[in-house]
Amino acid sequence: MDLKYNGKEEYLKIYIDSYRKISTIQLMNSINSSLDIQFYYYISDDPKKEESEKISPGPSVFRPSNVKPEPIIDYIDTTVYKSDISQEIHSKYSNYASFVVRLYEESPLVEVDWVVGPVPIDDGLGKDVFLRYSTDLDNFGTFYTDANGRQTIKRIRHMRATYQPYNLDPVAGNYYPVNSKIYIEDTKRNLRLSIFNDRSQGGSSLIDGAIDFLVHRRILTDDTGAQTFLNDTIENQGVVIRGKHYLYFTKANYRPNKVYEKRLAKEIELSPKVFVSVYDDWENTTNEFTALRNKLPIGVHLLSLEEWNDHTLLLRLENYLEKSDIVKSGNKIVKIKDLFVNIKINIVKETTLAAHMWFKDWVPLHWQMNESFYKSFNDYYGLGNMELCKNEIIRPFEEVDLDEGISLTPQQIRTFVVWFEYLK
């Protein structure tokens, strides 16, 4: 059977095999890829074992005692629901691990709503639970993660760019922080699988074609010596964790999709909070308002807007696109003069990033740069997803020309103090 989007344009289909498990995903151009979504766990150190020279796993140390993961699949319980808005596959493989796969109308994303817990410890062993998305893409040990939700960094399994790792842990040594996105590419098939998460998690690609997310840990040993175990409970039961991942299959070399992915990451990170109130209170409240008169250019994010007093604002703007995302021009111009509703902007002056001094008064420090380090890094990893270069310091005018606007280069953040007055 298959699950598909039924809008005006059919973005993708998901197929279920005879065992009631997700098996294949098909894009709108009839490109197929195998897809398996499966929970696993690593066994952490046994607290009954004698102490070894290695630090035991705990709240700040992830190092499984057995590098071979165990699948969480006690049974297979799959139910399909279809509506005019979404279609869903509810999959449950254990009493403590399940997920829901959703396809929304007019959306190219696959939403995975997962739930894990309470993680059982009846056997006296702690466990690190992860969710693996397996495909038939050939990424040859290479994957990409974001850095603090901003630039993308290339990773190569079991490798480091500027040194040969010694005694590298085969599991923990290949995990990296994923704040918003991780992806793999099959350059021969020109396919990319990107997965977006709703919170920071450890991520990796330990086998080709697969992406792993560490989603839950229940550890019975301590790495600090202070008896602080990662064993959170509620009413003597382990805690239950719920989260979401968003899968996006696309062409690897199509740059407009990279821009879409950057914007999607921001939308997930800054998704609105849902509150419940009495209907009469909701009806008598202004529920929709925008302070912007015009849309910001693609790739520009209004990072900060703070009212300092009755006449000044702190404004911080960010160009979150990278050089490798650029379709036409990487520089973005923000016309700040008529940017806000009911506000007349009189003067704009630039400050340093933290707004603690005027930018014109800032004197940069001159570091003794080790050029061989970042050159060897780029030679090894390539320049496609991370370009390290010396940025030219552009001295701004003391005041910003309101008619000319503010220019933002890729990955640049600029901070300003704005003098304004309200319009009646």
Query: Of the spans 59-63, 123-127, 327-331, which averages the highest pLDDT?
Result: 123-127
Res 388: pLDDT: 44
Supply the pTM of this predicted model: 0.89
Each domain of the chain, given as residue ranges in start order, spans 2-269, 300-422
191 contacts: CB under 8 Å, gap ≥ 6 = 31, 33, 137, 185, 249, 250, 251, 252
State the amino acid at position 154 in one-letter form: K
Of all residues in the chain, what percent are helix, strand and coil, respectively (each to 5)?
10, 40, 50
> Can you tell me the mean pLDDT for 68-77?
94
pLDDT tens for 312-340 read: 999 999 999 988 777 677 789 999 888 99
CATH number of 2-269: 2.70.98.30
Res 35: pLDDT: 93
pLDDT tens for 290-303 read: 889 889 999 999 99
The radius of gyration of the chain's CA atoms, rounded to the nearest angstrom, is 25
Q: Is 415 left (phi over 0), alpha (psi -120 to 50) or beta?
A: beta
Q: Is 59 left (phi over 0), alpha (psi -120 to 50) or beta?
A: alpha
> Can you tell me the mean pLDDT for 158-183?
89
What kind of fold does domain 300-422 have according to CATH?
Immunoglobulin-like (2.60.40)
